[in-house]
Amino acid sequence: MASSSLFAAARRLLRLGGRCRSGIPASRAAASSSSSNAEEKRPPRPPSLQSTLWPLGHPGTLLVPEIELWAARPGNRLRAVELQRIVKELRKRRRHCQALEVSEWMNLKGHVKFLPKDHAVRLDLIGEIHGVGAAETYFNNLSNNDKTEKPYGALLNCYTRELLVDKALDHFQKMKELGFVFSTLPYNNLMGLYTNLGQHEKVPSVMAEMKNNGIIPDNFSYRICINSYGSRADFFGLENTLEEMECEPQITVDWNTYAVVANNYIKGNLREKAYSALQKAESKIDKRNSDSYNHLISLYGHLGDKSEVKRLWALQMSNCKRHINKDYTTMLAALMKLDAITEAEALLKEWESSKNAFDFQVPNILLTGYRQKDMLDKAETLIDDFLKKGKVPTSTSWAIVAIGYAEKGNVVKAYELTMNALRVYAPNTGWIPRSSMIEMILRYLGDEGELKDVEAFVDLLKVAVPMNSDMTEALARARAREGKKFEEKNA
């Protein structure tokens, strides 16, 4: 039963924390045999730095100790270009903390003499992790020689990412005065800012200004503009912009642009046009690029086309050498959306048997699907299975199921699962307890919970969120009830 499974899960959670060919002289055969034996005895080539780091997939893993350990082995040599490539790849994989860690270390140790482009990368990472204020401080401390268009552009990116309109526009104006606006990137940042603010009507005017200043839009510029029309269901504007793009001799329309077009057609319920755009997108993809397959699989999932989803997954498995966790999460999400639950469960087992780094973000896709489909027993069973294998679910995993019970009004189960989430809580992992569920649990504990249980819950909760009036009120009500019981007992 789900309840017994739940208590078992809690208990486990607490416990875990050369043959010769005819005609070849014997001497040559012997030499060949000797050479073969020497090759057999030769030690295998040591792993490269990148092949050492990529399996360390958890974003909380420190990479510098691993790099230093690798560099200390005989025959290994750190190269500046490889370290820069590693930082670039970490950013691409959105492992920003690790990218900043490596960037800071290689500058501190003198492995790389920082140029303006390196400062720009570091500034952007600082803004991503520590906020705009820290990025501004880093920028202000740069020498005048290092304050070229690249660090200026990185700071503009920080402003637009944080949706700071006034700062972004002022900074953009300063860049224009300094002659640093000579590429599409600053304009793309502004168009992205308006897109993220939902001010899609402002995007075409930025595009027009770019063209008036003699800067030819790139694929990304056109994609943002196309999306701005699609977001307003202006398919006439969308198709005119796409046609203009297709007629530009210096532009090769890429798969991603057609995917953006398809996505907007899907939202507008223009299925035939969506299929046409998806076919064009597929004709443009690099067949070894997993990202393109993931994107198209997701779009076909939104169309409800299971056969196309499975076809593209088979192609991805065949054509791409590596299949990372992101590939599995995309396919699992598509299958759950299509109600292909049995196939999703089989794919999760396939992922478990792969050599990918174990990350609960992958099974969380199934847990979320189970919650949405009111299959909470299955969600608890999945968590229990991982506990049996010695894999402790993250706070997010427990919370997904807890939210499901809270939505059903089952506050007792929501409380028990949230306690498990709080027991394994770690800061800076992205999980914050849902306030509405916490309020419900605190009301229940204040009215019905034992004082020791309320105190234990609040002690764990205040590590994750600041102490607030809901917590103090629950404690006060529980203490009042405890005091009343004591008085009645001794009356």
CA angle 262–346–16, rounded 5-degree value: 115
Q: List the chain pLDDT tens, one digit each, 491 residues.
A: 444 455 555 555 555 544 333 343 444 444 444 444 544 555 566 788 888 888 776 777 899 999 999 999 988 888 989 999 999 999 988 889 999 999 999 988 888 889 999 999 999 999 999 999 999 999 999 999 999 999 999 999 999 999 999 999 999 999 999 999 999 999 999 999 999 999 999 999 999 999 999 999 999 999 999 999 999 999 999 999 999 999 999 899 999 999 999 999 999 999 999 999 999 999 999 999 999 999 999 999 999 999 999 999 999 999 998 899 999 999 999 999 999 999 999 999 999 999 898 999 999 999 999 999 999 999 999 999 999 999 999 999 999 999 999 999 999 999 999 999 999 999 878 899 999 999 999 999 999 999 999 999 999 999 999 999 999 999 999 999 988 888 877 76
Q: Taking the complete model, does pTM exceed 0.85, yes or no?
A: no
Cα 169-172-176 angle, rounded to 5 deg: 135
State the pLDDT at residue 484: 85
**Helix, strand and coil percent figures for the chain, each rounded to 5:** 75, 0, 25
Q: What angle do CA 321, 322, 325 make, to 5 degrees?
A: 155
Q: Quick one: three-class SS letters along 315-328?
A: HHHHHCCCCCHHHH
Listed in order, strand segments (DSSP E) in 312-441 are none
Burial zone of 110 (CB within 10 Å; 0-12 exposed, 13-18 middle, 19+ buried): exposed
Amino acid at 3: S
Query: What is the spatial distance between Cα 35 and Cα 22, in angstroms, rounded to a whole number?
Result: 19
Rounded to a whole number of angstroms, the CA Rg of the chain reads: 28
User: What does the alpha-carbon distance between residue 129 and residue 127 come to, in Å, rounded to a whole number?
Assistant: 6
State how far the Cα of 307 lies from the Cα of 275, in Å rounded to an integer: 13
Whether 238 contacts 277, CB under 8 Å: no
Gap between the Cα atoms of 316 and 314, Å rounded: 5
Per-residue H/E/C for 6-63:
HHHHHHHHHHHCCCCCCCCCHHHHHHHHHHHHHHHHCCCCCCCHHHHHCCCCCCCCCC
pLDDT computed for residue 162 by the predictor:
97
Contacts with 470 (C-beta within 8 Å, 6 or more apart), sequence order: 438, 439, 442
Under 8 Å between Cβ of 442 and 471: yes
Looking from the CA of 367 toward its CB, the CA atoms found within 13 Å total 25
Say if residues 81 and 100 touch (Cβ distance below 8 Å).
no
